[in-house]
Amino acid sequence: MLQLISENKSFGGWHKKFSHHSNKTNCTMQFAIFLPPQASENRKVPVLYWLSGLTCTDENFMQKAGAQKMAAQLGIAIVAPDTSPRGEQVANDDAYDLGQGAGFYLNATQAPWKEHYQMYDYIVHELPALIEQNFPVNQKRAISGHSMGGHGALTIALKNPQNYVSVSAFSPICNPVNCPWGEKAFSAYLGEDKSSWLQYDSCELLHGATAILPMRIEQGTQDNFLSDQLKPESLLNIAKNKPFDVQLNMQEGYDHSYYFIASFIDEHLAFHAQYLN
């Protein structure tokens, strides 16, 4: 059952925050939803799912990205889930890049993480079913995200092209099996058998793909994580040898922050609107 936490009118629509018990993560989860003014029982609107990065909650995107105005104009709902399971009973780590706030949008197989860290199933299966059952939205979905959430958006779209019409990402972790963030998280959540990691790596998934969704990636040239953690060139090199249109925009002078996201979020919403509407 959904529990309303807060609601605020915004650009003629409504930003609402809810909690609910998740059967997939076995704990209470929170998400935010922006319903544009067009949304009604007589007109169900499409949904963009936004996945946030390390340390974030649903609030970072909804409060900092400035997406509501364009979403209201385009008639697109936005759903922003939390980035991990949370609670006293949920396994955690003192570091910012493991545990609560760092779910990496995968299904953990290793103790103590596997009891709650089933974020892949939560995002792909449970949350959309919940949204479509309780709100005036249709089954047209797009997916986007930032950093760890960009990794989540790309991998989920590549693994489930039938579920979404388009995918985009800001500063995504493109090759997590070959970067410090990914190696640390995957070792903990999935174990030391690196073959099990490949199912959550965008480069590996793109390499084996026979078809992909329309894909747009935004990356700042002054992002201090660019060379060590994000590695968009690895993804682009694979795309060059495939008959796919992977649009990578290198934006001069921009960093890893929400200032960067706010600068280009309208363009990403317009990109998704081509396919959602």
Catalytic sites, residue numbers: 147, 223, 256
Sign, CA torsion 170/124/126/13: positive
Sign, CA torsion 126/130/131/133: positive
Sign, CA torsion 219/158/181/228: negative
Q: Distance between CA atoms of 107 and 121, rounded to whole angstroms?
A: 7
* Residue 77 to residues 134, 204, 248, Cα–Cα distance (Å): 13, 31, 25
Dihedral of the alpha carbons of 86, 51, 5, 11, in degrees to the nearest 10: 170
Phi, psi (deg, nearest 5) at residue 225: -100, 0
Q: Distance between CA atoms of 67 and 34, rounded to whole angstroms?
A: 9
Strand ranges (E), 108-202:
137-145, 167-170
Residues 6+ apart with CB under 8 A from 139: 132
Phi, psi (deg, nearest 5) at residue 31: -150, 160
